[in-house]
Copies of this chain bind each other. A is one copy, B any other.
Protein backbone atom coordinates (compact mmCIF):
# COMPACT_ATOMS: atom_id res chain seq x y z
CA UNK A 1 0.00 0.00 0.00
CA UNK A 2 1.09 3.56 -0.61
CA UNK A 3 2.28 4.88 2.76
CA UNK A 4 0.06 7.44 4.42
CA UNK A 5 1.41 10.74 5.73
CA UNK A 6 2.32 9.41 9.18
CA UNK A 7 3.89 6.19 7.85
CA UNK A 8 5.90 8.05 5.23
CA UNK A 9 7.15 10.68 7.72
CA UNK A 10 8.36 7.98 10.08
CA UNK A 11 9.93 5.99 7.23
CA UNK A 12 11.98 9.03 6.16
CA UNK A 13 13.27 9.47 9.71
CA UNK A 14 13.95 5.75 10.18
CA UNK A 15 15.97 5.72 6.94
CA UNK A 16 18.11 8.72 7.98
CA UNK A 17 18.64 8.22 11.70
CA UNK A 18 20.97 5.77 13.47
CA UNK A 19 20.89 4.51 17.08
CA UNK A 20 22.83 6.85 19.34
CA UNK A 21 22.23 10.01 17.33
CA UNK A 22 20.50 13.27 18.30
CA UNK A 23 17.16 14.25 16.78
CA UNK A 24 14.62 17.03 17.26
CA UNK A 25 10.87 17.02 17.66
CA UNK A 26 10.18 20.67 16.94
CA UNK A 27 6.49 20.41 17.94
CA UNK A 28 6.02 17.63 20.45
CA UNK A 29 2.24 18.07 20.68
CA UNK A 30 0.76 14.98 22.29
CA UNK A 31 4.06 13.13 22.11
CA UNK A 32 3.44 10.62 19.33
CA UNK A 33 6.46 11.58 17.25
CA UNK A 34 8.54 12.10 20.42
CA UNK A 35 7.99 8.48 21.43
CA UNK A 36 8.76 7.31 17.89
CA UNK A 37 12.02 9.29 17.81
CA UNK A 38 12.94 8.13 21.32
CA UNK A 39 12.73 4.51 20.23
CA UNK A 40 14.55 5.27 16.98
CA UNK A 41 17.70 6.69 18.59
CA UNK A 42 17.60 4.23 21.49
CA UNK A 43 18.93 4.68 25.02
CA UNK A 44 22.28 5.93 23.74
CA UNK A 45 20.65 8.67 21.64
CA UNK A 46 18.92 11.93 22.51
CA UNK A 47 15.65 13.58 21.52
CA UNK A 48 15.17 17.30 22.03
CA UNK A 49 11.42 17.89 22.10
CA UNK A 50 10.07 21.44 21.91
CA UNK A 51 6.68 22.93 22.43
CA UNK A 52 5.53 26.44 23.21
CA UNK A 53 2.42 25.11 25.00
CA UNK A 54 2.63 23.80 28.57
CA UNK A 55 -0.28 21.46 27.86
CA UNK A 56 1.78 19.74 25.14
CA UNK A 57 4.84 19.43 27.36
CA UNK A 58 2.74 17.94 30.19
CA UNK A 59 1.00 15.55 27.84
CA UNK A 60 4.29 14.36 26.33
CA UNK A 61 5.86 14.04 29.79
CA UNK A 62 3.09 11.64 30.82
CA UNK A 63 3.62 9.56 27.66
CA UNK A 64 7.34 9.35 28.34
CA UNK A 65 6.76 8.21 31.94
CA UNK A 66 4.18 5.66 30.82
CA UNK A 67 6.59 4.22 28.28
CA UNK A 68 9.66 4.58 30.53
CA UNK A 69 11.62 6.59 27.96
CA UNK A 70 14.52 8.48 29.49
CA UNK A 71 16.40 9.83 26.47
CA UNK A 72 14.16 12.85 25.81
CA UNK A 73 14.85 16.44 26.88
CA UNK A 74 11.52 18.24 27.03
CA UNK A 75 11.91 21.94 26.33
CA UNK A 76 9.06 24.34 27.04
CA UNK A 77 10.15 27.06 24.64
CA UNK A 78 9.62 28.14 21.05
CA UNK A 79 11.46 26.04 18.45
CA UNK A 80 12.86 29.22 16.90
CA UNK A 81 15.25 29.17 19.85
CA UNK A 82 16.49 25.66 19.05
CA UNK A 83 20.16 26.58 18.67
CA UNK A 84 20.16 27.91 22.25
CA UNK A 85 19.80 24.27 23.28
CA UNK A 86 22.39 22.84 20.93
CA UNK A 87 26.14 22.68 21.54
CA UNK A 88 28.52 23.95 18.88
CA UNK A 89 29.90 20.41 18.73
CA UNK A 90 26.52 19.27 17.49
CA UNK A 91 26.87 21.31 14.30
CA UNK A 92 26.50 18.89 11.38
CA UNK A 93 25.53 16.22 13.93
CA UNK A 94 21.74 16.41 14.08
CA UNK A 95 20.37 13.37 12.26
CA UNK A 96 16.75 14.35 11.83
CA UNK A 97 13.88 16.56 12.89
CA UNK A 98 10.13 16.68 12.56
CA UNK A 99 7.63 19.54 12.56
CA UNK A 100 3.87 19.21 12.74
CA UNK A 101 2.60 22.60 11.65
CA UNK A 102 -0.81 23.78 12.79
CA UNK A 103 -2.46 23.59 16.21
CA UNK A 104 -2.33 21.12 19.07
CA UNK A 105 -4.95 18.40 18.46
CA UNK A 106 -7.86 18.50 20.93
CA UNK A 107 -6.86 21.96 22.09
CA UNK A 108 -7.23 25.68 21.38
CA UNK A 109 -7.25 26.05 17.58
CA UNK A 110 -6.24 29.70 17.75
CA UNK A 111 -2.80 28.81 19.13
CA UNK A 112 -0.96 27.88 15.94
CA UNK A 113 2.56 27.63 14.58
CA UNK A 114 3.51 30.71 12.56
CA UNK A 115 5.67 31.19 9.49
CA UNK A 116 8.27 33.44 11.04
CA UNK A 117 9.25 31.20 13.92
CA UNK A 118 8.75 28.04 11.84
CA UNK A 119 11.16 29.23 9.14
CA UNK A 120 13.70 30.38 11.72
CA UNK A 121 13.62 26.95 13.33
CA UNK A 122 13.90 25.10 9.99
CA UNK A 123 16.89 27.20 8.93
CA UNK A 124 18.65 26.69 12.25
CA UNK A 125 18.13 22.95 12.16
CA UNK A 126 19.33 22.75 8.52
CA UNK A 127 22.57 24.39 9.65
CA UNK A 128 23.02 21.73 12.34
CA UNK A 129 21.97 18.79 10.16
CA UNK A 130 24.40 16.00 9.27
CA UNK A 131 24.96 15.03 5.62
CA UNK A 132 21.99 12.84 4.62
CA UNK A 133 20.09 14.03 7.68
CA UNK A 134 16.42 14.86 7.10
CA UNK A 135 13.93 17.48 8.24
CA UNK A 136 10.34 16.30 7.90
CA UNK A 137 7.60 18.95 7.92
CA UNK A 138 3.99 17.78 8.14
CA UNK A 139 1.88 20.70 6.99
CA UNK A 140 -1.67 20.99 8.30
CA UNK A 141 -3.26 24.05 6.74
CA UNK A 142 -7.05 23.69 7.01
CA UNK A 143 -7.25 26.04 10.01
CA UNK A 144 -7.33 29.84 9.99
CA UNK A 145 -3.81 31.10 9.30
CA UNK A 146 -2.73 27.71 7.98
CA UNK A 147 -2.74 28.65 4.32
CA UNK A 148 -0.38 31.56 4.87
CA UNK A 149 2.09 29.42 6.78
CA UNK A 150 1.89 26.72 4.10
CA UNK A 151 2.66 29.19 1.32
CA UNK A 152 5.57 30.71 3.22
CA UNK A 153 7.12 27.34 4.00
CA UNK A 154 6.78 26.21 0.38
CA UNK A 155 8.33 29.43 -0.89
CA UNK A 156 11.23 28.99 1.53
CA UNK A 157 12.00 25.36 0.73
CA UNK A 158 11.67 25.83 -3.05
CA UNK A 159 14.60 28.23 -3.03
CA UNK A 160 16.95 25.83 -1.22
CA UNK A 161 19.96 25.11 -3.45
CA UNK A 162 19.39 21.78 -5.21
CA UNK A 163 23.08 20.95 -5.02
CA UNK A 164 22.88 21.18 -1.22
CA UNK A 165 19.41 19.79 -0.48
CA UNK A 166 16.79 17.46 -1.87
CA UNK A 167 13.33 18.92 -1.22
CA UNK A 168 10.46 16.49 -1.67
CA UNK A 169 6.72 17.15 -1.55
CA UNK A 170 4.56 14.08 -0.81
CA UNK A 171 0.87 14.79 -1.08
CA UNK A 172 -2.42 13.02 -1.72
CA UNK A 173 -4.09 15.26 -4.27
CA UNK A 174 -7.62 13.86 -4.58
CA UNK A 175 -8.69 14.33 -0.95
CA UNK A 176 -11.15 16.92 0.29
CA UNK A 177 -10.80 19.17 3.34
CA UNK A 178 -7.14 20.18 3.00
CA UNK A 179 -5.46 17.03 4.31
CA UNK A 180 -1.92 17.39 5.66
CA UNK A 181 1.03 16.73 3.38
CA UNK A 182 4.76 16.19 3.83
CA UNK A 183 7.71 18.32 2.84
CA UNK A 184 11.03 16.58 3.43
CA UNK A 185 14.45 18.24 3.20
CA UNK A 186 17.55 16.07 2.99
CA UNK A 187 21.01 17.60 3.25
CA UNK A 188 23.20 16.39 0.39
CA UNK A 189 26.50 17.91 1.45
CA UNK A 190 27.88 20.95 3.17
CA UNK A 191 28.18 24.05 1.04
CA UNK A 192 31.81 24.85 0.34
CA UNK A 193 31.47 28.45 1.46
CA UNK A 194 30.61 27.50 5.04
Which of A134, A168, A175, A183 has the most CB atoms of chain B within a 10 A radius of its CB?
Answer: A168
Residues of B within 8 A of A173 (CB): 154, 157-158, 167-169, 183
Residues of B within 8 A of A165 (CB): 174
**Cβ of B168 and Cβ of A169 under 8 Å apart?**
no
Residues of B within 8 A of A168 (CB): 2, 170-173
**Cβ of A174 and Cβ of B186 under 8 Å apart?**
no
**Is A162 at the interface (CB under 8 A from chain B)?**
yes
Contact size range, A: 20 to 34
**Cβ of B166 and Cβ of A2 under 8 Å apart?**
yes
Instruction: Flag A89-106 by CB within 8 Å of B: 1 or 0 each.
Output: 000000000000000000
Interface residues of A in 158-194 (CB under 8 A from B): 158-162, 165-176, 183-184, 186
A interface residues, Cβ below 8 angstroms from B: 1-2, 12, 15, 132, 134, 154, 157-162, 165-176, 183-184, 186
| Further pairs besides A1-B15, A167-B174: 12, Cβ < 8 Å | A1-B132, A2-B15, A2-B166, A157-B173, A161-B174, A162-B172, A162-B174, A162-B176, A166-B174, A169-B170, A169-B172, A170-B170
